[in-house]
Chains A and B, each alone.
Chain A
Amino acid sequence: AQSVAQPEDQVNVAEGNPLTVKCTYSVSGNPYLFWYVQYPNRGLQFLLKYITGDNLVKGSYGFEAEFNKSQTSFHLKKPSALVSDSALYFCAVRDMVGSSNTGKLIFGQGTTLQVKP
Protein backbone atom coordinates (compact mmCIF):
# COMPACT_ATOMS: atom_id res chain seq x y z
CA ALA A 1 0.00 0.00 0.00
CA GLN A 2 1.13 3.51 -0.70
CA SER A 3 1.85 5.67 2.31
CA VAL A 4 3.52 8.80 3.57
CA ALA A 5 5.15 9.31 6.96
CA GLN A 6 6.03 12.52 8.75
CA PRO A 7 8.14 11.38 11.69
CA GLU A 8 7.98 14.63 13.65
CA ASP A 9 4.80 15.91 15.25
CA GLN A 10 6.40 19.30 15.83
CA VAL A 11 9.46 21.19 14.66
CA ASN A 12 10.72 24.23 16.53
CA VAL A 13 13.10 26.70 14.95
CA ALA A 14 14.25 30.23 15.66
CA GLU A 15 13.42 32.96 13.19
CA GLY A 16 16.17 33.39 10.63
CA ASN A 17 17.44 29.84 11.00
CA PRO A 18 17.02 27.18 8.32
CA LEU A 19 14.15 24.75 8.71
CA THR A 20 13.52 21.20 7.60
CA VAL A 21 10.26 19.27 7.83
CA LYS A 22 10.76 15.59 7.10
CA CYS A 23 8.71 13.28 4.91
CA THR A 24 9.28 9.72 3.72
CA TYR A 25 7.13 7.80 1.31
CA SER A 26 6.36 4.29 0.21
CA VAL A 27 4.93 3.80 -3.27
CA SER A 28 5.08 1.41 -6.16
CA GLY A 29 6.50 3.10 -9.21
CA ASN A 30 7.47 6.73 -9.53
CA PRO A 31 5.91 8.99 -6.91
CA TYR A 32 4.04 12.24 -7.40
CA LEU A 33 4.77 14.13 -4.18
CA PHE A 34 3.23 17.29 -2.76
CA TRP A 35 3.58 19.65 0.18
CA TYR A 36 0.64 21.60 1.54
CA VAL A 37 0.41 24.07 4.43
CA GLN A 38 -2.61 24.65 6.66
CA TYR A 39 -3.10 27.79 8.71
CA PRO A 40 -5.72 27.87 11.51
CA ASN A 41 -9.28 27.96 10.19
CA ARG A 42 -8.00 27.79 6.64
CA GLY A 43 -7.92 25.10 3.99
CA LEU A 44 -4.79 23.49 2.68
CA GLN A 45 -2.59 25.66 0.50
CA PHE A 46 -0.33 24.14 -2.13
CA LEU A 47 3.40 24.80 -1.69
CA LEU A 48 5.16 22.62 -4.25
CA LYS A 49 5.22 19.30 -6.03
CA TYR A 50 7.68 16.80 -7.45
CA ILE A 51 6.73 14.91 -10.57
CA THR A 52 9.98 14.27 -12.40
CA GLY A 53 13.22 15.99 -13.25
CA ASP A 54 15.40 18.05 -10.95
CA ASN A 55 15.51 16.62 -7.43
CA LEU A 56 15.37 20.10 -5.89
CA VAL A 57 11.94 21.62 -6.30
CA LYS A 58 11.25 25.28 -5.58
CA GLY A 59 7.83 26.39 -4.42
CA SER A 60 5.83 29.20 -2.89
CA TYR A 61 6.96 31.55 -0.07
CA GLY A 62 10.63 30.58 -0.42
CA PHE A 63 10.09 26.90 0.34
CA GLU A 64 11.89 24.12 -1.49
CA ALA A 65 11.97 20.36 -1.21
CA GLU A 66 14.57 17.76 -2.01
CA PHE A 67 13.51 14.48 -3.58
CA ASN A 68 15.79 11.58 -2.66
CA LYS A 69 14.87 8.34 -4.38
CA SER A 70 17.39 6.15 -2.57
CA GLN A 71 16.15 7.32 0.84
CA THR A 72 12.52 7.59 -0.32
CA SER A 73 12.34 11.04 1.20
CA PHE A 74 10.92 14.41 0.22
CA HIS A 75 11.96 16.86 2.93
CA LEU A 76 10.65 20.41 2.95
CA LYS A 77 13.23 23.14 3.52
CA LYS A 78 13.59 26.87 3.82
CA PRO A 79 16.91 28.70 4.24
CA SER A 80 15.59 31.33 6.65
CA ALA A 81 12.42 30.78 8.69
CA LEU A 82 9.85 33.49 9.40
CA VAL A 83 7.46 33.67 12.35
CA SER A 84 4.66 33.74 9.78
CA ASP A 85 5.75 30.27 8.57
CA SER A 86 4.32 28.80 11.78
CA ALA A 87 1.58 26.43 10.61
CA LEU A 88 0.70 22.78 10.04
CA TYR A 89 2.51 21.15 7.12
CA PHE A 90 1.36 18.09 5.22
CA CYS A 91 3.27 15.87 2.85
CA ALA A 92 1.18 13.90 0.38
CA VAL A 93 1.59 11.38 -2.41
CA ARG A 94 -0.76 10.81 -5.29
CA ASP A 95 -2.46 7.41 -5.19
CA MET A 96 -1.63 5.98 -8.57
CA VAL A 97 -3.10 2.53 -7.95
CA GLY A 98 -5.73 1.69 -10.52
CA SER A 99 -5.77 4.95 -12.44
CA SER A 100 -3.49 7.88 -12.96
CA ASN A 101 -6.47 10.19 -13.26
CA THR A 102 -7.81 9.87 -9.75
CA GLY A 103 -7.39 12.92 -7.59
CA LYS A 104 -6.77 10.91 -4.45
CA LEU A 105 -3.95 12.18 -2.31
CA ILE A 106 -2.58 10.18 0.60
CA PHE A 107 -1.54 12.56 3.35
CA GLY A 108 0.87 12.24 6.22
CA GLN A 109 -0.21 13.02 9.77
CA GLY A 110 1.15 16.53 9.57
CA THR A 111 3.98 18.40 11.27
CA THR A 112 3.43 21.56 13.27
CA LEU A 113 6.13 24.12 12.57
CA GLN A 114 6.72 26.64 15.33
CA VAL A 115 9.02 29.54 14.47
CA LYS A 116 9.98 31.64 17.47
CA PRO A 117 11.16 35.26 17.27
Chain B
Amino acid sequence: ETGVTQSPTHLIKTRGQQVTLRCSSQSGHNTVSWYQQALGQGPQFIFQYYREEENGRGNFPPRFSGLQFPNYSSELNVNALELDDSALYLCASSRLGGGANVLTFGAGSRLTVL
Protein backbone atom coordinates (compact mmCIF):
# COMPACT_ATOMS: atom_id res chain seq x y z
CA GLU B 1 0.00 0.00 0.00
CA THR B 2 1.19 3.51 -0.77
CA GLY B 3 1.85 5.90 2.09
CA VAL B 4 1.07 9.60 2.41
CA THR B 5 2.91 11.77 -0.09
CA GLN B 6 3.30 15.54 0.10
CA SER B 7 4.52 18.16 -2.32
CA PRO B 8 6.55 20.26 -2.57
CA THR B 9 9.12 19.12 -0.03
CA HIS B 10 10.64 22.57 0.38
CA LEU B 11 9.61 26.04 -0.70
CA ILE B 12 10.46 29.64 0.01
CA LYS B 13 7.96 32.49 -0.09
CA THR B 14 7.92 36.14 0.93
CA ARG B 15 5.56 37.86 3.31
CA GLY B 16 2.14 38.54 1.87
CA GLN B 17 2.31 35.79 -0.73
CA GLN B 18 0.04 32.78 -0.94
CA VAL B 19 1.03 29.11 -0.89
CA THR B 20 -0.64 25.81 -1.74
CA LEU B 21 0.60 22.53 -0.32
CA ARG B 22 -0.61 19.18 -1.61
CA CYS B 23 -1.15 15.77 -0.07
CA SER B 24 -2.12 12.33 -1.36
CA SER B 25 -3.70 10.07 1.22
CA GLN B 26 -2.70 6.52 1.95
CA SER B 27 -4.72 3.99 -0.02
CA GLY B 28 -7.96 3.12 1.76
CA HIS B 29 -7.97 6.23 3.94
CA ASN B 30 -10.83 8.72 3.68
CA THR B 31 -9.86 11.41 6.18
CA VAL B 32 -7.08 13.96 5.95
CA SER B 33 -5.75 16.26 8.63
CA TRP B 34 -3.05 18.93 8.52
CA TYR B 35 -0.58 19.90 11.20
CA GLN B 36 1.92 22.74 11.57
CA GLN B 37 5.22 21.93 13.24
CA ALA B 38 7.29 24.98 14.11
CA LEU B 39 10.98 24.50 14.80
CA GLY B 40 11.51 22.81 18.16
CA GLN B 41 7.81 22.30 18.75
CA GLY B 42 5.31 19.48 18.55
CA PRO B 43 2.84 19.42 15.66
CA GLN B 44 -0.23 21.64 16.05
CA PHE B 45 -3.56 20.60 14.54
CA ILE B 46 -4.80 22.91 11.77
CA PHE B 47 -7.90 21.12 10.49
CA GLN B 48 -9.37 17.85 9.28
CA TYR B 49 -11.38 16.98 6.19
CA TYR B 50 -13.84 14.17 5.69
CA ARG B 51 -16.15 13.75 2.71
CA GLU B 52 -14.72 16.93 1.24
CA GLU B 53 -15.83 19.02 4.20
CA GLU B 54 -13.92 20.48 7.12
CA ASN B 55 -15.04 18.66 10.27
CA GLY B 56 -12.60 19.93 12.85
CA ARG B 57 -10.36 22.98 13.17
CA GLY B 58 -7.61 24.07 15.49
CA ASN B 59 -6.67 27.56 16.60
CA PHE B 60 -5.63 28.90 13.20
CA PRO B 61 -6.95 32.01 11.43
CA PRO B 62 -9.22 31.85 8.36
CA ARG B 63 -6.32 32.58 6.02
CA PHE B 64 -5.50 28.90 6.52
CA SER B 65 -7.93 26.96 4.34
CA GLY B 66 -8.12 23.58 2.74
CA LEU B 67 -9.77 21.31 0.27
CA GLN B 68 -10.36 17.59 0.01
CA PHE B 69 -11.02 16.05 -3.38
CA PRO B 70 -13.16 13.00 -4.31
CA ASN B 71 -10.02 10.84 -4.45
CA TYR B 72 -9.31 11.90 -0.83
CA SER B 73 -6.25 13.97 -1.75
CA SER B 74 -6.05 17.37 -0.12
CA GLU B 75 -4.64 20.86 -0.33
CA LEU B 76 -3.65 23.34 2.33
CA ASN B 77 -3.78 26.99 1.29
CA VAL B 78 -2.29 29.82 3.28
CA ASN B 79 -2.94 33.42 2.25
CA ALA B 80 -1.14 36.58 3.28
CA LEU B 81 1.90 34.70 4.54
CA GLU B 82 3.56 35.90 7.73
CA LEU B 83 7.06 35.19 9.00
CA ASP B 84 5.62 32.98 11.77
CA ASP B 85 4.10 30.71 9.14
CA SER B 86 7.58 29.30 8.55
CA ALA B 87 7.27 25.67 9.62
CA LEU B 88 7.04 22.05 8.56
CA TYR B 89 3.51 21.29 7.38
CA LEU B 90 2.47 17.70 7.90
CA CYS B 91 -0.41 15.92 6.26
CA ALA B 92 -1.89 12.81 7.86
CA SER B 93 -4.53 10.40 6.67
CA SER B 94 -6.69 7.89 8.49
CA ARG B 95 -9.90 5.94 8.33
CA LEU B 96 -12.54 7.85 10.22
CA GLY B 97 -14.46 5.76 12.67
CA GLY B 98 -13.21 6.30 16.15
CA GLY B 99 -10.68 7.95 18.35
CA ALA B 100 -8.41 4.92 18.27
CA ASN B 101 -7.54 5.37 14.60
CA VAL B 102 -3.85 5.75 13.83
CA LEU B 103 -2.78 8.70 11.73
CA THR B 104 -0.31 8.01 8.93
CA PHE B 105 1.88 11.04 8.30
CA GLY B 106 3.67 12.25 5.22
CA ALA B 107 7.23 13.56 5.26
CA GLY B 108 6.03 17.15 5.25
CA SER B 109 6.46 20.34 3.28
CA ARG B 110 8.97 22.78 4.77
CA LEU B 111 7.86 26.36 4.21
CA THR B 112 10.20 29.29 4.74
CA VAL B 113 8.71 32.78 4.70
CA LEU B 114 11.17 35.64 4.20
Which residues does A use to contact B, with CB under 8 Å? 32, 34, 36, 41-46, 49, 51, 90, 92, 94-96, 99-110
By DSSP majority rule, is chain B's interface helix, strand, loop, or mixed? Answer: loop
Residues of A within 8 A of B101 (CB): 103
- Which residues of chain B have C-beta atoms less than 8 A from A100's C-beta? 98-99
Contacts A49-B100, A110-B42 given; indicate if A44 touches B105 (C-beta within 8 A): yes
List chain B positions with a Cβ less than 8 A from chain A. Answer: 4, 31, 33, 35, 40-45, 48, 55-56, 58, 90, 92, 94, 96-108
Tell me the bound Cα distance from A3 to B2 in angstroms.
Answer: 32
Chain A, Cβ-Cβ closest to B6: A43
Number of A-B contacts (CB under 8 A): 72
CA distance A95 to B56 in the complex (A): 11
A45 to B94, CA, bound (A): 13
Shortest Cβ distance from B28 into chain A, in angstroms? 15
